Amino acid sequence: MTAWDIDPQGVQGVINRTAEAFAPFEQHAGAFATGCRDAGTASGSTQVSKALSGFVEHHRPTLLGLRNRTQRTLRGAAEATNAYVRGDEEMAAQAQAKAARTTQ
């Protein structure tokens, strides 16, 4: 049988550090879109402006996908760890109940 040894506090630490590292991503993605728009305006060229706008729109789904996948991954790790802890608690309670019945 394979043994599981999950450290819930360790998992929470990894989740927190990952969330902190990823937090600036949304700001950078917003700055990317704003920068491209401003560059298009500053160029004074309709063609450049359209090209940059198209570039942003082309990459928007990828950026949103990265954000969404990261959020779902962090949530999934937390939920899986919580389920593991609940399972441990249930098994411990069952073992204690069985031991109490045996000693009576």
Question: Domain limits of the chain?
Answer: 22-102
**Tokens 């700001």 identify what position?**
27
pLDDT digits (tens, 9 = 90+) for 1-37: 566 788 999 999 999 999 999 999 988 988 999 999 9
CA distances from 63 to 29, 37, 59, 78 (A): 7, 17, 6, 23
Whole-structure pTM value: 0.72
CA-nearest of 4, 30, 19 to 78 is 19
